[in-house]
Amino acid sequence: MYVGRFVVVGPEVGAYRVSSRSFPNRQLTARDEALTVGPTADAPETDNPYVSYNCLRVVDTPTGETAALGNGSHVDPIAEKLELGYPARDALAESLLALDYEKDDYDTPRIAATLGGDGEALIGTVRKDALLVETVEEPTLVATYEEDSPRAFDLEADSAEEAASEVYDHEFEHAVCAAGVARTDEGFETAIENGD
Ligand SMILES: NC(=O)c1ncn([C@@H]2O[C@H](COP(=O)(O)O)[C@@H](O)[C@H]2O)c1NC=O
């Protein structure tokens, strides 16, 4: 099954996978406290505005570190609102609604999640027909297509590296790259899986 991009978040671990039929020549790179999706050196040029973006950021908030992850440019305003002290629910809902679903041929939903240092995790999506933001108590998935409402997901990983490789290896089709994040005693760790 092809579900496009997807996010999984549980109370301790989060992950994001880029799956793509149309733009497979992409990779993740780490820059400061952000993981960025961008084209590989051999990728054909494109003017599609939705295929390069920060997909994961770890920020300091008034209540400790929080990770924000998702499938597009909304990850930045979510992270910035968290830094300002917005509750995660509000940072997700306001940023998803402000940017709204993507105006491409598929009305691609925006998906996102947050993982707080205090143990709070939330997941959300904005589709053409809905805005959903939920607190989660167990690993939960939302994807751009088919699996486009949050549902429980069997994620066994308990480190960032395991989370990235577990979602990269998942049977959902057209894996391109994946990011993982996990809470540790020293703060959040992140990991990249580019399949190479
Ligand atoms: N975030 C991404 O990495 C991303 N990759 C592709 N898209 C959008 O989704 C459309 C469909 O892409 P695909 O056929 O690869 O699933 C693309 O035309 C593009 O508008 C994306 N936008 C949202 O998921």
Proportion of the chain in helix, strand, coil states, percent, rounded to 5: 15, 40, 45
Three-class secondary structure of residue 182 per DSSP: strand
Mutate to test the pocket of ligand 1, among 5, 6, 96 (most ligand atoms within 8 A of CB): 5
Instruction: Give the Å distance between the CA of 152 and the centre of ligand 1.
Output: 24
Quick check: ipTM above 0.95? yes
Question: 5 CB contacts (<8 Å, ≥6 apart)?
Answer: 16, 17, 18, 19, 20, 71, 111, 143, 144
pLDDT(155) > 90: yes
- Assign 161 a pLDDT band (cuts: 50, 70, 90): very high
Q: Does the Cβ of 148 fall within 6 Å of ligand 1? A: no
Q: Does the Cβ of 165 fall within 6 Å of ligand 1? A: no
Q: What is the pLDDT of residue 79?
A: 98
User: What's the CA gap between 57 and 59, in Å, rounded?
Assistant: 6
CATH 3.60.20.20 fits 6-193, yes or no: yes
Q: Does the Cβ of 22 fall within 6 Å of ligand 1? A: yes
